[in-house]
């Protein structure tokens, strides 16, 4: 089994969720919104899974990329970022806890898929 998929399946097991349950949650349109402005990102087919978010410019480590969640709604970043154990982004609560924002953790080139580590993002639910 491919390492990335095994890690995702480990995540599902740890969360006690099935792939069907995750699909139902991620495709729920009632908790999704579009971006509030243009970000240099595009949706395209992923080699990891389905459709994903790709960069249209260079991001350096620490650069703000976009919001993943605003209040209780997911943006395209919150919906389409795939898991990778060596992710190129991280998600961080805003100071006022009104949004979860995506920051680059590595150099991201135009055409690179944005990835996040689902294991690390689980703690964000607790609004640490």
- Domains of the chain, first to last: 3-126 (2.170.270.10)
Report the C-alpha gap between 19 and 30 in whole angstroms. Answer: 20
Q: What share of the chain is helix, strand, coil (3-state, %, to 5)?
A: 30, 30, 40
For the segment 41-88, what is each residue's pLDDT rounded down to a tens digit?
Answer: 999 999 988 899 999 999 999 999 999 999 889 999 998 998 888 999
For the segment 10-51, what is each residue's pLDDT rounded down to a tens digit?
Answer: 766 766 767 676 666 666 667 789 998 999 999 999 998 889
Residue 115 has pLDDT above 90, yes or no: yes
Would the pTM count as exceeding 0.85?
no
């Amino acid at each position: 089994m491919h390492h990335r998929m095994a890690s995702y399946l480990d995540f599902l097991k740890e969360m006690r969720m099935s792939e069907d349950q995750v699909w139902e949650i991620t495709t729920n349109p009632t908790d999704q919104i579009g971006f509030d402005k243009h970000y240099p990102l595009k949706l395209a087919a992923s080699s990891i899974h389905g459709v994903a978010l790709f960069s249209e410019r260079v991001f350096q480590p620490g650069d703000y990329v976009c919001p993943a969640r605003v209040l209780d709604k997911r943006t395209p970043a919150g919906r389409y970022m795939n898991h990778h154990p060596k992710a190129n982004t991280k998600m961080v609560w805003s100071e006022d806890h009104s949004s979860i924002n995506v920051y680059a953790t590595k150099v991201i080139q135009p055409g690179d898929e944005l990835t996040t580590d689902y294991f690390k993002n689980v703690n964000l639910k607790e609004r640490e």
